[in-house]
């Protein structure tokens, strides 16, 4: 099979669709790999390392798409890239199709391609193996980002997360106790913050309680509990996720107004639309804004700026699926592996994900 690794088109996306080590393994299996010049530089992989692994370096994104049966990306393809697709291709990426415009979905259906959405590859037990390491990274990044923007020179209220003797630490409310929430709770606790976690899933709250031996208060995420936690917190982390769907709005504008001025909201759910009513999409180059007197950090693809770590992390998890698709072929891999099948929203001109179908049909 011909496998292509193009440059990422988003200027703040520094990860790459496959490492030189992955290329070497595919070439040893008899596949051909076409890597666009400079595709791995952001993650620290020069063209020479891909050539040494057996890849052919090509000089245009269009050439990668023209030559490849399987395209390995990180970010969702742009409209320009979608125009380059051809019938029968498989594209692996973090698609987040529930937040893409309807015309993008319609273009993919016309192209007769297979979309493998890394974020919705799902095991029988409901875990998301490829998304999980990136969620873990985002949670671990949250305190270091929060500390920066809470400083006076970041526009924040001038508080130190850990506090000092005689001055208490900040309070943090984490809404969503999945992988992001658990990792964020652990990272904030290590910095000395007072942390509370909210979720609708009691098993996740039990996991938080056990992990932190009762030192992190937990609440069911009813609206009145969320309102109370938001009002008393200096940092609110939005980490709500429904795989394959837009994130629900859990923090209302009224709740945001109740926070102390120049507090901070980090809506990590922004990849899937955001769970805070006042959120809007930002970038790593322009990451924050103030709404209702509260600083908002709403940047998708947070792990994209720790590109080397996050490239290795997600590809460690994605490799078994990439290998299966390359060896078995596009259609056979979808039909033979239930994890992959659950992660394929569009295949052969049809929407296979019922949640996406309901969204498109307005149900």
Ordered by start, the domain boundaries in the chain are 2-121+307-361, 131-305
What is the mean pLDDT of the segment spanning 336-344? 91
Under the banding of pLDDT at 50, 70 and 90, the label for residue 98 is confident
Tell me the β-bridge partners of 333.
none
Provide the pLDDT for residue 108: 87
Under the banding of pLDDT at 50, 70 and 90, the label for residue 258 is very high
- Rounded CA-CA distance 56/219 in Å is 54
- Rounded CA-CA distance 100/87 in Å is 21
Give the CATH architecture of domain 131-305. Answer: 3-Layer(aba) Sandwich (3.40)
CA 185, chain centre distance (Å): 18
Provide the pLDDT for residue 9: 92
| Ramachandran category for residue 316: left, alpha or beta (phi over 0 → left; psi -120 to 50 → alpha) | alpha
For 103-144, how does the pLDDT look when each residue is reduced to its tens digit (9 = 90+)?
888 888 888 889 999 999 999 999 999 999 999 999 999 999
Contact 272, 238 (CB under 8 A): no
Tokens of 338: 């239930």
Contact 236, 251 (CB under 8 A): yes
Q: Is the pLDDT of residue 362 over 70?
A: no
Q: What percent of the chain lies above the pLDDT cut of 90?
A: 82
Which one is catalytic: 136, 199, 271, 339?
A: 271
Tell me the β-bridge partners of 167.
164
Provide the pLDDT for residue 358: 73
Q: Please name the residues in contact with 283: beta carbons below 8 A apart, sequence gap of 6 or more.
A: 12, 299
Under the banding of pLDDT at 50, 70 and 90, the label for residue 234 is very high
What is the mean pLDDT of the segment spanning 39-63? 97
Average pLDDT of the chain to the nearest whole number: 94
Same fold, 2-121+307-361 and 131-305: yes
18-27, 80-89, 345-354 — which is least confidently predicted?
345-354
Provide the pLDDT for residue 363: 53
DSSP codes of every residue in 34-62? EEETTTTGGGT--HHHHHHTTPEEES-HH
- Rounded CA-CA distance 136/306 in Å is 13
Looking only at the bridges linking them, the beta strands covering 294-297 and 346-347 are: unpaired
Told to judge if 96 belongs to the known catalytic residues of this protein, a careful annotator would answer: yes
Element spanning 308, H or E: helix 307-328
Told to judge if 363 belongs to the known catalytic residues of this protein, a careful annotator would answer: no
361 by Cβ neighbours in 10 Å (0-12 / 13-18 / 19+) ranks as exposed
Identify the CA nearest to 6 among candidates 86, 93, 117. Answer: 93
Provide the pLDDT for residue 59: 94
Provide the pLDDT for residue 310: 97
Q: How far is CA 324 from CA 63, 214, 272, 336, in A?
A: 24, 42, 27, 10
Q: What are phi and psi of 103, to 5 degrees?
A: -65, -25
Max CA pair span of the chain: 66
CATH of domain 2-121+307-361: 3.40.50.720
Contact 273, 302 (CB under 8 A): no
Which one is catalytic: 31, 34, 96, 296?
A: 96
Predicted TM-score (pTM) of the model is 0.93
What is the mean pLDDT of the segment spanning 1-23? 95
59-68, 89-98, 307-316 — which is least confidently predicted?
89-98
134 by Cβ neighbours in 10 Å (0-12 / 13-18 / 19+) ranks as buried
What is the mean pLDDT of the segment spanning 170-182? 97
């Amino acid at each position: 099979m011909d496998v292509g690794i193009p440059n990422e088109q988003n200027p703040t996306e520094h990860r790459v669709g496959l490492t030189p080590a992955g290329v070497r393994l595919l070439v040893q299996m008899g596949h051909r790999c076409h890597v666009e010049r400079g595709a791995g530089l952001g993650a620290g992989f020069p063209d020479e390392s891909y050539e040494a692994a057996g890849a052919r370096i090509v000089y245009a994104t269009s050439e990668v798409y023209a030559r490849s049966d399987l395209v390995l990306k990180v970010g969702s393809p742009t409209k320009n890239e979608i125009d380059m697709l051809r019938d029968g291709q498989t594209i692996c990426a973090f698609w987040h199709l529930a937040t893409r415009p309807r015309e993008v979905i319609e273009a993919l259906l016309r192209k007769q391609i297979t979309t493998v959405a890394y974020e919705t590859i799902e095991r029988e037990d409901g875990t998301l193996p490829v998304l999980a390491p990136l969620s873990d990274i985002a949670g671990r990044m949250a305190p270091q980002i929060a500390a920066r923007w809470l400083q006076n020179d970041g526009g924040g209220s001038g508080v130190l997360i850990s506090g000092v003797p005689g001055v208490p630490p900040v309070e943090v409310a984490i809404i969503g106790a999945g992988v992001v929430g658990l990792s964020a709770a652990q990272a904030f606790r290590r910095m000395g913050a007072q942390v509370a976690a909210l979720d609708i899933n009691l098993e996740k709250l039990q996991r938080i309680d056990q992990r932190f031996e009762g030192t992190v208060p937990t609440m069911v995420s009813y609206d009145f509990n969320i309102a109370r936690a938001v009002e008393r917190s200096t940092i609110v982390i939005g980490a709500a996720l429904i795989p394959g769907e837009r994130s629900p709005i859990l923090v209302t504008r009224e709740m945001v107004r109740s926070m102390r001025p120049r507090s901070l909201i980090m809506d990590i759910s922004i990849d899937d639309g955001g769970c805070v009513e006042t959120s809007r999409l930002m970038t790593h180059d322009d990451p924050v804004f103030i709404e209702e007197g509260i600083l908002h950090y709403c940047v998708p693809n947070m792990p994209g700026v720790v590109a080397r770590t996050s490239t290795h992390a997600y590809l460690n998890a994605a490799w078994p699926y990439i290998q299966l698709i390359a060896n078995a072929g596009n259609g056979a891999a979808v039909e033979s592996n239930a994890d992959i099948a659950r992660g394929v929203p569009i295949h052969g001109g049809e929407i296979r994900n019922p949640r996406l179908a309901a969204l498109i049909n307005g149900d």
